[in-house]
């Protein structure tokens, strides 16, 4: 297995709940390393650009409003099968359908306010990481 990088975001609802530490703990417990981290308050153009793939969907205006409502935390994660591992730790998009013990099941309210985001494929991860991080902002971690 090769090391892989992925993008994660802790959304405004999770920051409101004060669970950044709990989410980071779960990331580390899943043998993923946090190799980049930024807290920011995204503006409308930044959110619209990031979620451009959803621009024609009916929920887009609510998504933009939610993601600009407060600060969020962008994360670069690294580990064996990082994309699949992070998606498993997050759980299904809908907290009611997420498995017990996942972040979204434990802390999500609904499909929109579901605490975290994660890349779904290597190509998406590469694009999302570049959207939020300059190359020098991601640490080259020394493994064992």
Residue 77: other Cβ atoms inside 10 A? 28
pLDDT tens figures, 80-106: 999 999 999 999 999 999 999 999 999
Q: Active-site residue numbers?
A: 117
Entry pTM: 0.94
13-37 pLDDT, tens per residue?
999 999 999 999 999 999 999 999 9
Q: Which of 116, 114, 137 shows the shortest CA–CA distance to 73?
A: 116
123: helix, coil or strand?
helix
Average pLDDT value over all residues in the chain = 95
CB 113 within 8 A of CB 11: yes
DSSP 8-state symbol, 141: P
Q: pLDDT, tens digit, for every residue of 45-72?
A: 999 999 999 999 999 999 999 999 999 9
Residues 36 and 2: beta-carbon distance below 8 Å? no
Got the DSSP string for 63-120? HHHHHTSS-EEEEEEEEETHHHHHHHHH--SSTTTSPTTSHHHHH--SSSS-SEEE--
| pLDDT bucket at 140, cuts 50 / 70 / 90 | confident
The top-level CATH class assigned to 3-137 is alpha beta
The per-residue pLDDT for 44 is 97
CA pair distance 116, 120, nearest whole angstrom: 13
| 126 to 6, 24, 44, 77, 137: CA distances (angstroms) | 7, 21, 22, 11, 14
3 confidence band (pLDDT: 50, 70, 90) = confident
Distance of CA 119 to the CA centre of its chain: 7
In angstroms, rounded to a whole number, what is the distance separating the alpha carbons of residues 125 and 101?
24
Please report, for the chain, the start and end positions of each structural domain, with discontinuous segments joined by +: 3-137
């Amino acid at each position: 297995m090769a090391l892989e990088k992925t993008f994660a975001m802790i959304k405004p609802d999770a920051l409101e709940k004060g669970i950044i530490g709990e989410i980071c703990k779960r990331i580390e417990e899943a043998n993923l390393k946090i190799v980049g981290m930024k807290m920011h308050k995204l503006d409308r153009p930044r959110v619209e650009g990031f979620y451009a793939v959803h621009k024609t969907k009916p929920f887009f205006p609510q998504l933009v409003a939610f993601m600009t409502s407060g600060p969020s935390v962008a994360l670069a994660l690294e580990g064996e099968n990082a994309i699949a591992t992070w998606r498993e730790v997050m759980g299904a998009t809908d907290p009611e359908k997420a498995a017990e013990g996942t972040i979204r099941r434990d802390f999500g309210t609904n499909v929109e306010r579901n605490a975290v985001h994660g890349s779904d494929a290597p190509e998406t991860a590469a694009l999302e990481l570049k959207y939020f991080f300059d190359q020098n902002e991601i640490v080259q971690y020394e493994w064992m």
